[in-house]
Amino acid sequence: MKARTFPGGIHPLENKYLTEKKPIERAAAPELVVIAMSQHIGAPCKPIVKVGDEVKMGQKIGEAQGFVSVPVHSSVSGKVKAIGPFQHPLGNVQPAITIENDGRDDAVDPMQPLDDIRDVEPKKLIGRICELGVVGMGGATFPTHVKLSPPREKPIDTVILNGTECEPYLTADHRLMLEHPTRIINGFKVVVRVLNANRAIIGIEANKPDAIEVMRQSLNGSGNIEVFKLLVKYPQGGEKQLIKSLLDREVPPPPGLPMDVGVVVQNVGTAAAIADAVFEGRPLIERVTTVTGSGVKDPKNLLVRVGTLASQLIEQCGGYNGEIGKIIFGGPMMGIAQSTDRVPACKGTSGVLVLTKDDTTIREPDPCLRCGRCVQACPIHLRPYLLGALVESERLDDAEAESVLDCIECGCCAFVCPSSRWLVHLFKSAKAQIMAKKRKK
């Protein structure tokens, strides 16, 4: 079968060899967890505990504050030590609850598990998924119940399970497919049931042949679910690119969404979390995270409790290796560099990447050569060289007219630029200024 793909994109070094053969290990329980109230896109949670309270593992400690929001639960049992600002993976300081682990793992009673969902109303399933804090695990952390609640005028005919994991270094989803395929498939079936979709597709990049085989074998004759092999190319895992590769449908520019073309995409980690919520009644309080890079002595895939500090995860991987140049939450293309290792893992923390100074040399940008490589690489069909010039000239209205808001910040343009221009930085800045201006109006 020919591997499917989309126009544009790039081929960065994968560097997945560091962890792709490493089975998932359960990370040691931390002595304390710092659980951010903002674990997802949308409204942050409101703390519903106070300093000094004793909490149980799985207990709700943050209440959702809107439709695009989900509750947050404690990943340990113990005492609330502090409630206040703490460094967040997004690079700023946000409200968080610090809990001292008592080491007992006393847990709240789980929500009543469901054995058979065939006669369960979709609204009940969606409500359970929301109440147990499930969000997108691929990095975007969009509340899952929102994705599963499209307007009536936008019926969904196809659901896609995203198993591409195209970001270099990261192997958490790969290992999850190899070690927990049944959980993933059961969660995906919930998505199909809720959306009443007549087609279900699992997309996996060709560099994971073992995962493709395992997922196909685990379907056990589920004829309504197909597995497709995708060409290895970045950003193959982007929703728009995945939909183009698998269905040849074009998602409209922002504010257009996959549901506008009858599609919903879920990550394999999200599907596993849905299965845990529906069939076991367990909230989302842990996830698989790849801790890797040249700056780590023993890279691993770890099952991590939400709120564990990066410093503790790195320590469990043998500690630092050499002179450290950068710590990134996520992968090298779309991850966010951190100023400290005292940053807690959140629901969307797919990786902690540690690079040495030898791997993070940054050269000053040269003038644009107008070579056009960025145009060829852009998966959104923009003209990054022109956008860069407009933003540098502070012509933000013209940059908006040239669709800078459509940029998905994938980094393809900067990766191929022979002049090492900081294009993504320029576009992020421009988008922030344009949106601030719109909000002010």
Which CATH number covers residue 128? 3.40.50.11540
Q: Note the pLDDT of residue 174.
A: 98
pTM, 2 dp: 0.95
Rounded distance, CA 404 to CA 367, Å? 20
Tokens 């576009």 found at: 427
Q: Note the pLDDT of residue 222.
A: 73
Q: What is the pLDDT of residues 246-294, one digit of tens each?
A: 999 999 988 899 999 999 999 999 999 999 999 999 999 999 999 999 9
Give the residue among 148, 357, 412, 182 at the shortest CA–CA distance from 279.
Answer: 182
Domain end, chosen from 246, 280, 314, is at 280
Instruction: Determine how β-strand 286-292 pairs with β-strand 93-101.
Output: unpaired
In this structure, what DSSP letter does residue 41 have? S
Domains of the chain: total: 2
Domain end, chosen from 264, 280, 296, is at 280
Domain region containing 181: 112-280
Examine residue 418 and state whether it is found in any structural domain, yes or no.
yes
Residue 139 predicted with pLDDT over 80: no
Q: Note the pLDDT of residue 255.
A: 87
Examine residue 187 and state whether it is found in any structural domain, yes or no.
yes
Examine residue 353 and state whether it is found in any structural domain, yes or no.
no
Examine residue 1 and state whether it is found in any structural domain, yes or no.
no
Mean pLDDT along residues 18-43: 96
Domain end, chosen from 280, 306, 332, is at 280
What totals of helices (H) and strands (E) does the chain contain, helices first? 13, 17
Q: Are residues 386 and 248 in the same domain?
A: no
Q: Are residues 258 and 399 in the same domain?
A: no
Q: Note the pLDDT of residue 1.
A: 56
Q: Are residues 275 and 377 in the same domain?
A: no
Examine residue 315 and state whether it is found in any structural domain, yes or no.
no
Mean pLDDT along residues 117-121: 92
Rounded distance, CA 434 to CA 430, Å? 6
Q: Are residues 274 and 133 in the same domain?
A: yes
Do 218 and 182 touch, CB atoms closer than 8 A? yes
Examine residue 317 and state whether it is found in any structural domain, yes or no.
no
Burial category of 260 from C-beta neighbours within 10 Å (exposed 0-12, middle 13-18, buried 19 and up):
middle
Examine residue 406 and state whether it is found in any structural domain, yes or no.
yes
Q: Note the pLDDT of residue 111.
A: 93
CA 387 from centroid of its chain's CA atoms: 27
Examine residue 51 and state whether it is found in any structural domain, yes or no.
no
Q: Are residues 267 and 391 in the same domain?
A: no
